[in-house]
Amino acid sequence: MRARSTAQKGRDRVSRRPDANQAADPADASQAADANQVADPADASQAGDPAYRFRSPGQVGSELRGAGYLPDERISSVVYLGDRLGKPVLVEGPAGTGKTELAKSVAAMTGRRLIRLQCYEGLDEAKALYEWNYSKQLLRIQAERSGHERADWSELQADIFGEEFLLARPLLAAIRAPDPVVLLIDEVDRLDAETEALLLEVLSDYQVSIPEFGTLTSTQTPLVFLTSNNSRELSEALKRRCLYLYIDYPAPERERDIVLSRVPGFDVTLAGQVAGVVRSLRQLELKKRPSVSETIDWAQTLSLLGVHEIGTDLVIGTLHVLLKHQSDIEKATTELQRSR
Ligand SMILES: Nc1ncnc2c1ncn2[C@@H]1O[C@H](COP(=O)(O)OP(=O)(O)O)[C@@H](O)[C@H]1O
Ligand SMILES: [Mg+2]
| pLDDT tens digits, 288-315 | 999 999 999 999 999 999 999 999 999 9
| Pair (64, 157) in one structural domain | yes
Q: Which atom of ligand 1 is nearest to the CA of 187?
A: 23
Whether 34 is in a domain gets the answer no
116 in a structural domain: yes
Mean residue pLDDT across the chain: 85
Q: Do 206 and 71 share a domain, yes or no?
A: yes
The tens digit of pLDDT for each residue in 16-55 reads: 333 333 333 333 333 333 333 333 333 333 334 446 789 9
Question: Is residue 327 located within the same domain as residue 216?
Answer: no
Distance CA 72, CA 78 (A): 10
pTM: 0.82
In terms of domains, do 332 and 257 share one?
Answer: yes
Chain centroid, CA 83 distance in Å: 14
pLDDT in tens, 231-261: 999 999 999 999 999 999 999 999 999 999 9
Confidence of residue 116 (pLDDT cuts 50, 70, 90): very high
Give me the residues near ligand 2 (ion), CB cutoff below 5 Å: 100
Ligand index nearest the alpha carbon of residue 101: 1
pLDDT tops 80 at residue 148: no
For residue 108, pLDDT beyond 80? yes
Is 102 in the same domain as 239?
yes
Can you tell me which atom of ligand 1 is nearest the CA of 68?
A: 4
Core vs surface per residue 25-48: b (16+ CB within 10 A) or e? eeeeeebbeeeeeeeeeeeeeeee
Q: Which of 230, 248, 266 is the endpoint of a domain?
A: 248
Domain boundary among 231, 248, 265: 248
- Asked whether residue 191 falls in the same domain as residue 283, the answer is no
In one-letter notation, the amino acid at residue 100 is T
Report the nearest-CA residue for atom 15 of ligand 1: 98
Q: Please name which ligand lies nearest the alpha carbon of 186.
A: 2
- 232 and 293 together in one domain: no
Query: Of 219, 248, 277, which residue is a domain's last?
Result: 248
Domain range for 228? 1-15+50-248
pLDDT of residue 51: 62
Report the nearest atom of ligand 1 relative to the CA of 94.
21
Q: Which of 84-88, 105-109, 139-143, 252-256 has the lowest mean pLDDT?
A: 139-143
Residue 25 lies in a domain: no
Asked whether residue 107 is assigned to any structural domain, the reply reads: yes
Is residue 13's pLDDT more than 60? no
The pLDDT of residue 18: 36
289 lies in the same domain as 158: no
What pLDDT was estimated at residue 134? 87
Which of 46-60, 178-192, 196-210 is predicted with the least confidence, judged by mean pLDDT?
Answer: 46-60
pLDDT in tens, 264-293: 999 999 999 999 999 999 999 999 999 999
Pocket test for ligand 1, best of 293, 295, 322 (most atoms within 8 A of CB): 293
Chain centroid to CA 162? 29
68 and 187 both lie in a single domain: yes
Q: Is residue 193 part of a domain?
A: yes
Pocket of ligand 1 (CB under 6 A): 69-70, 95-101, 227, 258, 261-262, 292-293, 296
Do 278 and 229 lie in a common domain? Answer: no
Which residues, 6+ apart, have CB-to-CB distance to 271 below 8 Å?
Answer: 256, 257, 259, 260, 263, 299
149 in the same domain as 131: yes
- Ligand 2 centre and the CA of 93: distance in Å? 10
CATH of the domain at 92: 3.40.50.300
239 and 322 together in one domain: no
Cα–Cα distance for residue pair 249/94, rounded to 1 Å:
8
Query: Does 8 score more than 70 pLDDT?
Result: no
CA-proximal residue: ligand 1, atom 8 (nearest): 98
Residue 27 belongs to a domain: no
Give CA–CA dist 181/107, Å, rounded. Answer: 8
Check residue 264 and report its DSSP letter: T
- Count Cα atoms within 13 angstroms, Cβ side, for 132: 17
The Cα–Cα gap between 256 and 236 comes to 36
Question: Is residue 134 situated within a structural domain?
Answer: yes
33 lies in some domain: no
Number of domains in the chain: 2
pLDDT band at 150 (very low <50, low <70, confident <90, very high): low
Average pLDDT for residues 193-197, to the nearest whole number? 88
φ, ψ at 185 (rounded to 5°): -105, 95
- Looking from the CA of residue 101, the nearest atom of ligand 1 is 17
